[in-house]
Structure 1
Amino acid sequence: MTLLKTLKFSFKRMYFKISIKMRFLIFCSQLMTLCKNKELNITLSDIQSLSAYSELLAKAGGFEMYVASRIENFYEEIIDTYLKSKIAEVQSLCTIDLS
């Protein structure tokens, strides 16, 4: 590879990394807003409907399925299972029997 081609390749990789990081930060921001607005009562389709989700997958190149599966795993393991169980736990502790 010539020096110019190597440099061009490096810039493309650097641009891709910066671009994907920016998309990821935007996605995280939208996800946090969604969680706050819906008090963590969100579904996977709520996440998938975020504009940043689609943009993140579009920028993922050949890794769309991998990125989508990682987000789905995060939802299932963290939001759907852990956080929702903790919310239910706190709600049950806050329930006072007045009878």
Structure 2
Amino acid sequence: MPGPVPKRSDQRRRRNEPDGPALVKAEAGKAPTVPRADGSWHPIAKQWFQSLKDSGQAQFYEQSDWLAAGLSTSVVGVRPVDAPFPSRRAQPRFPVPATLPPCHT
């Protein structure tokens, strides 16, 4: 490659300024309360919820994350173990319109 040999990194002058304001660190909140698994949940839902607890990222979860996980698991996990999955041809519980109404913004 033609041209002079570049300067060593300790001899270079930095010309670009950092973007934006300096970082501000917030204090950590109190540790969240992890909800208990409900006994009526489907076994797979219980496994998923337990996997969240055991995850390495669980240390970063906030109270809202645990509540969302509990809500999601309770909605998904209420199907009885012996209940069959609905077929693809099953009718929806609520009528689905053929077209959506126009949006007014």
Q: Which has the higher contact order (CA 8 A, sep 6+)?
A: 2
The answer to whether TM tops 0.5 is: no
Q: What TM-score results when the alignment is normalised by the length of structure 2?
A: 0.32
**Larger CA Rg, structure 1 vs 2:** 2
Normalising by structure 1, what TM-score? 0.33
**Which structure is higher in helix share?**
1
